[in-house]
């Protein structure tokens, strides 16, 4: 019984993190860029801001171009890969999104909440590809990170 309660609490925490990532009905992302990301205060940051504006206007093609240009300038930015993954999910391209999320995870700073949100985003991408086992593994990874906080 206690294990079920703990699992329920962890799942609620993971679901809260999922609210910071992509959901089918609402693609807005309230999460903030993690401190120390190379994008911060770089020349590529203005391209990212232009991508955000284009995305808000539902101009996904332009947003993608801006993000790709920003990544060319700042290839070590986990945040940019995450942003591009979110965009690819909006474009219904979960395979590309998964590749971007994996890159974001490799570059992610040691911030459990941010990493957990990335793993939850990966679960979403895998679920949309029909990979239920892979999605469950990603969700479990997110749960472990939530517990570490």
Higher pLDDT, 19 or 81: 81
DSSP code for 131: -
Residue 118 has pLDDT above 70, yes or no: yes
Higher pLDDT, 91 or 13: 91
CATH superfamily of 37-148: Tetratricopeptide repeat domain (1.25.40.10)
What's the predicted TM-score (pTM) here? Answer: 0.78
Buried b (16+ CB within 10 A) or exposed e, 82-115: bbbbbbbbbeebbebbbbbbebbbebbeeebbbb
CB 85 within 8 A of CB 95: no
pLDDT for the residue 28: 31
Higher pLDDT, 44 or 15: 44
Residue 1 has pLDDT above 80, yes or no: no
Closest by CA to 112, choosing from 83, 148, 78, is 148
Q: To the nearest whole percent, how much of the chain has pLDDT over 70? A: 79
From CA 128, how far away is CA 35, in angstroms rounded? 30
The mean of the pLDDT values for the chain is: 84
> Where does the pLDDT of residue 5 fall: very low under 50, low under 70, confident under 90, or very high at 90 and above?
very low
């Amino acid at each position: 019984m206690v294990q079920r309660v703990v699992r329920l609490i962890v799942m609620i925490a993971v679901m809260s993190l999922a609210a910071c990532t992509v959901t089918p009905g609402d693609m807005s992302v309230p999460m903030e860029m993690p401190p120390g990301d190379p994008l911060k205060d770089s020349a590529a940051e203005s391209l990212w801001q232009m991508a955000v504006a284009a995305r808000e206007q539902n101009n996904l093609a332009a947003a993608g171009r801006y993000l790709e240009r920003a990544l060319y300038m700042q290839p070590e930015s986990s945040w940019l890969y995450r942003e591009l993954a979110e965009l690819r999910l909006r474009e219904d391209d979960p395979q590309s999104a998964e590749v971007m999320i994996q890159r974001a995870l490799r570059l992610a700073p040691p911030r459990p909440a941010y990493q957990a949100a990335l793993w939850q985003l990966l679960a979403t991408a895998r679920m949309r590809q029909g990979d239920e086992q892979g999605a469950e593994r990603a969700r479990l990874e997110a749960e472990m990170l939530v517990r570490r906080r």
